[in-house]
Amino acid sequence: MFQKFPQVSFVISTRNRCSVLLETLTQIQRCGLAESDFDIHVVDNASTDRTPQRVRSRFPKVKLIRLTQNRGSVAKNVALPQALGRFVVFLDDDSYPLAGSILRMIHHFESDAKLGAATFTVTLPDGRQECSAYPNVFIGCGVGFRRRALRAVGGLPDDFFMQAEEYDLSLRMMQAGYTVRTFEDLHVAHLKTPQARISSRTFRLDVRNNFYLIVRRFPFSFIPTVGWDWMKRYFWIAGSRKLQGVFLQGLLEGILRSLIRPRREPVSIETFERFIKTDLIRSGLKTSLTQVLGTQDLTGRPVLLVDCGKGIYGYCQACRDLGLRIVGIADQQLHHPSRRYRGIRLVDDQTGRSLRYDAVVISNLSPVHAKRRRNQWRLTQDRPVIDVLEVPESDEITDVLRVESGFLRTVARTA
C-alpha cells in the first residue's frame, strides 16, 4: 500500500524544559499545514523533569525518542532516520514558526532547486532579532532543510554537543553545491529560555568547537588568516567578559580534540571564498565607493571600518586590494587602547567619528548586526555609510514583520 509521507518534519531536542517544550508543541500545531502534512519528532536528552511522560500524555502523536545521556543540540541527528518529510525543520524547544512561515518556506524550496537550507529570521520576546555572524550560516533554532540535501551531506556533527555545529553543516552544504540563505519573510519566535543556558559553558564550547571547526573544515591557506582572526576575537571577547580562564580551557580542549581526532576534511578554496564572501565585499565596495566619491581611483582614500566581526578579514583584504587606507575600526564592545587588528586601531564609536575619513564601511557580515550599525552611523554623522549587504526592504516584507512580530528592532548574536 502506498505510504503518504508528510510535507514537513519538525525536529526538536530538549532537556529539562518541559513547560516551555509543551508550549512550543502547541504552537507548532498552528503552523498552517493540515495535520497529515507534518509530523513532530522530539529527542529527549535524558530529562529528569518527567518531560517524556508529559509529552506522551499531552501530544500522543509526537514521535518521542528518549536518550540515556545528554547529547546536546546535535541530538537532533537521532531523529533524522524517522523524519521522512520532504523538508525537515530544526527548532529549539523554546522556538516556533510564526503564522504563514512554513508555507512560504516550502515555496522558497520549490522555487530554487539548489536551496539546501532556508534560515528563518529569529525574533526574541523583547523585539530584538538574532542571526548568525555569516549570512550563509543557518541558526539552529529556526531552519528548514531539503531532506534530500540533508541526507546527502549528513546531519549535525555528533562530536560538537552544541555551539558552532551550524557552521560545520553549512560549510558541508555549500561544498555539496547547495545554498544556505536567510529569508526575511520566514519568522521564528525564540523565547530564549534561560534555564540550562550557562554562559561560561556556552563560551567554552564556542571556543572549543570553533577551533576544531577551523582545523577540520578550513583550507590550509586560510587557517593562519581567518582562523587566527576568529581565535583572537574570542580572546578579546573573553577579556571584555572576564572569561579569560574559560577561553583558555576551551582553546586547550579544542587543541586536544584536534590532536586526538584529526578528522581533517576541508572544503575547497572556492567554497570557502564564497563563505567569507571576499569577491562580494570587494565588488560591492568598489561599486558603492565609486558612486559616492565620484571617482574610479580609490587609491589612498581614507575609510573607517565599523565592527570587528567574524568577517573582518574579507573587508580589510578588499580595502587593501582597492588601495583604500583604513584609519581605524570602530567597535563598541571590543575597543581597547592596546588592541590592533593587523596594525589597525580598534576604537570606540565616539573616537571613530572624530577621525578623518571619506566614508564609513560596515565591516560585519551578520545581516542583523550590520543593519543595526548602519542605521546608527547614518544617524550620527553625515558622511557616506556603505554596507555591501544592504537590501532595500519591500513594503510587503515590512508589513509581514509588523503583523507577525509586532516590532522591528534588531540585534545579532555575539558569536
CB atoms within 10 A of CB 171: 25
DSSP per-residue letters across 128-161 = -EE--SSTTS--TTEEEEEHHHHHHH-SS-GGG-
Q: What is the pLDDT of residue 186?
A: 94
φ and ψ at residue 73, rounded to 5 degrees: -65, -35
Task: Tell me if 45 sits within 8 A of 15, measured CB to CB.
Answer: yes
Band of the pLDDT at 194, cuts 50, 70, 90? low
HSE (CB half, 13 Å, CA atoms) of 400?
18
For the stretch 352-367, pLDDT in tens is 999 999 999 999 999 8
Q: Beta-strand (E) ranges in 129-278?
A: 129-130, 142-146, 179-190
Q: What is the pLDDT of residue 46?
A: 96
The three three-digit cell numbers of residue 262, written as one number: 584529526
**How is residue 18 annotated by DSSP?**
H
Q: Give the separation between CA 339 and CA 312, rounded to whole angstroms.
A: 15
Q: Give the separation between CA 250 and CA 389, rounded to whole angstroms.
A: 32
What is the DSSP pairing of strand 129-130 with strand 87-91?
Answer: unpaired
* 127 Rama sector, left if φ>0, alpha if ψ -120 to 50, beta otherwise: left
| Single-letter residue type at 304 | L
Task: Tell me if 104 sits within 8 A of 400, measured CB to CB.
Answer: no
Whose cell is 555549500? That residue is 174
Band of the pLDDT at 272, cuts 50, 70, 90? very high
HSE (CB half, 13 Å, CA atoms) of 125?
6
The three three-digit cell numbers of residue 217, written as one number: 573544515
In CATH, the number for domain 277-391 is 3.40.50.720
Q: Give the separation between CA 300 and CA 302, rounded to whole angstroms.
A: 6
Greater confidence (65 vs 400) lies with 65
Task: Tell me if 389 sits within 8 A of 370, measured CB to CB.
Answer: yes
> Which residue, 101, 71, 72, is CA-closest to 10?
101
For the stretch 287-303, pLDDT in tens is 999 999 999 999 999 99
Least confidently predicted of 9-13, 260-264, 279-283, 292-296: 260-264
Distance, CA of 81 to chain centre: 25
pLDDT at 413 over 80: no
CA dihedral in degrees (368, 372, 374, 380; nearest 10)? 180
Whose cell is 531532506? That residue is 147
What is the DSSP pairing of strand 344-347 with strand 8-14?
Answer: unpaired
Angle between helices 278-293 and 312-321 (to 10 degrees): 50
Handedness of CA 41, 47, 53, 58 (dihedral sign): negative
For the stretch 89-144, pLDDT in tens is 999 999 999 999 999 999 999 999 999 999 999 999 988 888 899 999 999 999 99
Handedness of CA 414, 364, 238, 209 (dihedral sign): positive
Q: Where are the alpha helices (DSSP H) in 33-78?
A: 51-58
Beta bridge partners of 347: 330
CB atoms within 10 A of CB 64: 18
Q: Which fold has domain 8-190?
A: Spore Coat Polysaccharide Biosynthesis Protein SpsA; Chain A (3.90.550)
Q: Give the separation between CA 171 and CA 177, rounded to whole angstroms.
A: 10
For the chain, count helices (H), then strands (E). Answer: 14, 15
DSSP per-residue letters across 367-399 = HHHHHHHHHHHHHH--S-EE-TT--PPPHHHHH
Band of the pLDDT at 393, cuts 50, 70, 90? low
> Which residue, 5, 276, 11, 275, is CA-closest to 142?
11
Q: What is the pLDDT of residue 395?
A: 40
